[in-house]
Chain A
Amino acid sequence: MLGLNKKDVTLLTFVAVLALFAPFILNPFPEGSAMAQFNAGYPDLMQRFAIFGIFAIGFNLLFGLTGYLSFGHAAFLGIGSYAVVWMYKLLDYNVLWGLPLAVVISGIFALGIGYVSLRRSGIYFSILTLAFAQMMFAISYSDLLGRFVGTTITNGETGLQVYTSDPQILLGANEPNTPHLFGLVMNNSFFLEVGAWQFTFNVGYYFSAIVMLVMFYLSVRIFRSPFGLMLRAIKSNNTRMSYTGLNPRPYTLAVFVISGMYAGLAGGLMAAMDPLAGAERMQWTASGEVVLMTILGGTGTLIGPVLGAGFIKYFENIFSKINDNVLHQWFSFMPDGLEDAMVFIVHPFIGKGWHLTLGILFMLVVIFLPGGLVEGGQRLAAWIRSKRGGAEENTKSSTEPAE
């Protein structure tokens, strides 16, 4: 089906079901219960799952397949956002004009940056992309381009937004004045109340989720294509590939551009959910974040980046909400002294300390589980299987000759 083998169809269906039923899956606890704070089924967060999922899928195409570690991918994210907001300003709030433009423009930038950066590999490549991204950040943060042109391009540190004085030439009489797709306003939500539960179905979320599914499908196709095979060849033995008479440069450049387009699309969707674009989206910490997501989920796997993006965004949200009072509730079953001690120990890792937790977690994953969550899952599955299969299977696998 769709040019995929059976396994991939199952995977795609799995992701599609997860994405389409996310408002149910992410809202397992009834409203008002003590566990309600672990619910993640509200629009803003779900949109971020989908958008960062796209960003991470795109990054994984580059890093996971070719092993080129780009530290400047956030630049394309920012470019995508700016492109979409400019379309709001010039035409109207329909996201359909902005998103393709975001993809095209970030693709053009990726072509230029990639052409230069890919002349070097390894650490040089990382530093070159980092330098480019920082340069773009500086340019947009102080609106350097705008100073040349005479009008504002990025609107400096304020960030680009739509003003009533903007032309918006396509704006009809009774068109909504927030981002929409032919009248379907992104911010609108439908609510479904079942008993104590309240489920939110947000237009913006479903729009991003469908885009993410398409992008996921594309990435599966790229992974399975001869092109994807070439990219893996570059990762495993670049020298040998050159000796075989194949020039790796066009392949790496192509995947760099594709991955930049993914990032641009993600940035465009961010602006489609919230009609703002700011320079801080391009800062290199933002590039670091997508690296974290991909590694945490599992580099070079299909589902890994999506999982990583969801994982990080979910726990970022939950951890930031927990405070000392909540902790006291949790540990209230302990004796008083022990309870305070536990709260004291856990305190640095919650609330504003979320980044500390993330950093530690990330280091642990890099050190012990280079394959990320996906590898963790596989190991766990293998362990369970070996437990169930008993000693028989163990001896069988150990007697196999080493290649």
Chain B
Amino acid sequence: MDAFLLQILNGLDKGSAYALIALGLTLIFGTLGVVNFAHGALFMIGAFCAVTLSKLLNLSFIVEDPTQKDFLGNPLKVKTPYIESWFGPEVGSVIIDWSVPLAILFAIPIMVAIGFIMERGLIKHFYKRPHADQILVTFGLAIVLQEIVKYFYGANPIPTPAPEALSGVANIGAVIGLDIVYPVWRIVYFCFAALIIGSVFAFLQFTTFGMVVRAGMADRETVGLLGINIDRRFTIMFGIAAAVAGLAGVMYTPINSPNYHMGMDFLVLSFVVVVVGGMGSLPGAVLAGFLLGILESFASMNEVKNWLPGIDQIIIYIVAIIILLTRPRGLMGRKGVMED
């Protein structure tokens, strides 16, 4: 029973990353009808926002302290981050420690801006071109973004730890009388993902803006005929989708040290998730993300692996192929989406 719950937890946590990326992909696809191969790169840029912030916060100046000597007898060089000198050592070190959560605030404007620039500068010109062209140009963009990050940050993963208080493990099973020890940050990640997904849905469901966007997803032309500037709203949705991917990346950094090709690794799986969930269906994307995450974590249990070796690496693809063959529209796909 413990092992069973543990696998569900593992799956939820992997699934949240899939669900967040797939949600962004579906937002873009549902509104603009563009297949964005650069979405993984947005996830990666989000992660590097966290890296950048933690580097910025750690910028320090060096003072020679004559009262202390190092082992050679020279005056000891003390590194003090600027933050600590501005806010005092206590507050400063807390800020540095919490750099990853702080990076959320840092990443949102950056990601929204990148999203706007991408949509207005490039993708706008591809609405009338065939889907293959959209795939190709965003694929090229993904390569370019990835290489730019590689140029500035190098090819090696950069460890970016979670805050001290959230980096340990906790026995969360104690509440229900079971013994499940689990890393705190992964629980935080899941809660965060749930929060983001919830707020995106609430935004679309309960605001006028969201209502218009949903109307535009259903019938763009009619909404346009009503005198609403639907293009502008869709651009904003692109920004939001970019921000969702970016935030997924920011919070993912303590789980896996970011490197420049992490986006590509996630992208392929996220596409599978989107297709399984049903192209253009937001609940489908989220559901499929969590389902496939859980499925993958169950497949990586030792009992299963002994029975079918290596099944954990291919289970998602097998399931995706089966689903596409039996339910061609995916789990919750609408009729008439992408059926040319």
9 extra A-B contacts, CB within 8 A, seeds A120-B324, A124-B338: A124-B279, A127-B272, A127-B275, A131-B321, A132-B321, A147-B309, A356-B147, A356-B148, A359-B141
Closest chain B residue, CB of each to CB of A356: B147
Complex interface residues of chain B between 295 and 340 (CB less than 8 A to chain A): 309-310, 313-314, 317-318, 320-321, 324-325, 328, 338, 340
C-alpha gap A131/B340 in the complex (Å): 21
A131 and B135 contact, CB distance less than 8 A: no
Tell me the smallest distance from the CB of B84 to a CB of chain A, in Å. Answer: 34
Residues in A neighbouring B35, C-beta threshold 8 A: 123
Residues in A neighbouring B144, C-beta threshold 8 A: 356, 359-360, 363
On A, residues with C-beta under 8 Å from B are 63, 67, 69, 116, 119-124, 126-128, 130-132, 134-135, 138-139, 142, 144, 147-148, 238, 284-285, 288, 291, 295, 348, 353, 355-356, 358-360, 362-363, 366-367, 370
Residues in B neighbouring A359, C-beta threshold 8 A: 140-141, 143-144, 146-147
B310 and A147 contact, CB distance less than 8 A: yes
A362 and B143 contact, CB distance less than 8 A: yes
Tell me the smallest distance from the CB of A310 to a CB of chain B, in Å. Answer: 20
B143 and A358 contact, CB distance less than 8 A: yes
Residues in A neighbouring B62, C-beta threshold 8 A: none
9 residue pairs A–B, Cβ–Cβ below 8 Å = A121-B340, A122-B338, A123-B35, A127-B272, A284-B268, A285-B264, A360-B144, A362-B136, A362-B143
A-B pairs, 6 with minimum CB distance = A359-B143, A356-B147, A363-B140, A359-B144, A144-B310, A135-B317
B328 and A119 contact, CB distance less than 8 A: yes
| Residues of B within 8 A of A (CB-CB), count | 38
B137 and A366 contact, CB distance less than 8 A: yes
B317 and A367 contact, CB distance less than 8 A: no
B324 and A128 contact, CB distance less than 8 A: yes
Residues in B neighbouring A144, C-beta threshold 8 A: 309-310, 313-314
Residues in B neighbouring A362, C-beta threshold 8 A: 136, 140, 143
- Check B139 for interface membership: any CB of A closer than 8 A: yes
C-alpha gap A70/B27 in the complex (Å): 24
C-alpha gap A93/B146 in the complex (Å): 41
B147 and A138 contact, CB distance less than 8 A: no
Q: Which of A126, A131, A147, A362 counts the most chain B CB atoms within 10 A?
A: A131
B310 and A142 contact, CB distance less than 8 A: yes
A122 and B131 contact, CB distance less than 8 A: yes
Partner of A139, one of B130, B268, B314, B340: B314
C-alpha gap A363/B338 in the complex (Å): 24
A134 and B135 contact, CB distance less than 8 A: no
Residues in B neighbouring A126, C-beta threshold 8 A: 132, 135
Closest chain B residue, CB of each to CB of A134: B268
Tell me the smallest distance from the CB of B319 to a CB of chain A, in Å. Answer: 10
- Check B86 for interface membership: any CB of A closer than 8 A: no
Tell me the smallest distance from the CB of B291 to a CB of chain A, in Å. Answer: 16
Residues in A neighbouring B272, C-beta threshold 8 A: 127, 131
Tell me the smallest distance from the CB of B324 to a CB of chain A, in Å. Answer: 6
B137 and A131 contact, CB distance less than 8 A: no
Tell me the smallest distance from the CB of A34 to a CB of chain B, in Å. Answer: 28
C-alpha gap A121/B264 in the complex (Å): 23
Tell me the smallest distance from the CB of A351 to a CB of chain B, in Å. Answer: 11
Q: Which of B35, B143, B318 counts the most chain A CB atoms within 10 A?
A: B143
Partner of B325, one of A116, A122, A127, A356: A116
A120 and B328 contact, CB distance less than 8 A: yes
Residues in A neighbouring B219, C-beta threshold 8 A: none
Complex interface residues of chain B between 261 and 299 (CB less than 8 A to chain A): 264, 268, 271-272, 275, 279
Partner of A356, one of B130, B139, B151, B314: B151
Query: Given A121-B340, A135-B318 in contact, is the A355-B310 Cβ separation under 8 Å?
Result: no
Residues in A neighbouring B340, C-beta threshold 8 A: 121-122, 238
Partner of B135, one of A69, A132, A353: A69
Residues in A neighbouring B65, C-beta threshold 8 A: none
Q: Which of B122, B141, B148, B324 counts the most chain A CB atoms within 10 A?
A: B324
Residues in A neighbouring B275, C-beta threshold 8 A: 124, 127-128
Residues in A neighbouring B321, C-beta threshold 8 A: 116, 128, 131-132
Partner of B151, one of A127, A238, A353, A360: A353
C-alpha gap A123/B132 in the complex (Å): 7
C-alpha gap A367/B272 in the complex (Å): 27
- Check B128 for interface membership: any CB of A closer than 8 A: no
Closest chain B residue, CB of each to CB of A365: B140
A123 and B338 contact, CB distance less than 8 A: yes
Residues in A neighbouring B328, C-beta threshold 8 A: 119-120, 124
C-alpha gap A349/B125 in the complex (Å): 26
C-alpha gap A127/B125 in the complex (Å): 23
- Check B133 for interface membership: any CB of A closer than 8 A: yes
Q: Which of A116, A123, A138, A288 counts the most chain B CB atoms within 10 A?
A: A123
Q: Which of B122, B140, B268, B314 counts the most chain A CB atoms within 10 A?
A: B140
B139 and A288 contact, CB distance less than 8 A: yes
A348 and B151 contact, CB distance less than 8 A: yes
C-alpha gap A67/B144 in the complex (Å): 25
Tell me the smallest distance from the CB of B206 to a CB of chain A, in Å. Answer: 31
Residues in B neighbouring A148, C-beta threshold 8 A: 309
Residues in A neighbouring B264, C-beta threshold 8 A: 285
Residues in A neighbouring B268, C-beta threshold 8 A: 130-131, 134, 284
B125 and A138 contact, CB distance less than 8 A: no
C-alpha gap A63/B325 in the complex (Å): 23
Complex interface residues of chain B between 211 and 227 (CB less than 8 A to chain A): none
Tell me the smallest distance from the CB of B197 to a CB of chain A, in Å. Answer: 22
Query: Given A120-B328, A127-B271, A366-B136 in contact, is the A138-B338 Cβ separation under 8 Å?
Result: no
Residues in A neighbouring B310, C-beta threshold 8 A: 138-139, 142, 144, 147
C-alpha gap A167/B135 in the complex (Å): 47
Tell me the smallest distance from the CB of A249 to a CB of chain B, in Å. Answer: 14
Tell me the smallest distance from the CB of B259 to a CB of chain A, in Å. Answer: 14
Residues in B neighbouring A120, C-beta threshold 8 A: 324, 328
Residues in B neighbouring A135, C-beta threshold 8 A: 314, 317-318
Tell me the smallest distance from the CB of A118 to a CB of chain B, in Å. Answer: 12
C-alpha gap A370/B132 in the complex (Å): 11
C-alpha gap A122/B275 in the complex (Å): 12
B132 and A138 contact, CB distance less than 8 A: no
Query: Given A116-B321, A119-B325, A284-B268 in contact, is the A355-B147 Cβ separation under 8 Å?
Result: yes
Tell me the smallest distance from the CB of B264 to a CB of chain A, in Å. Answer: 7
C-alpha gap A367/B123 in the complex (Å): 10
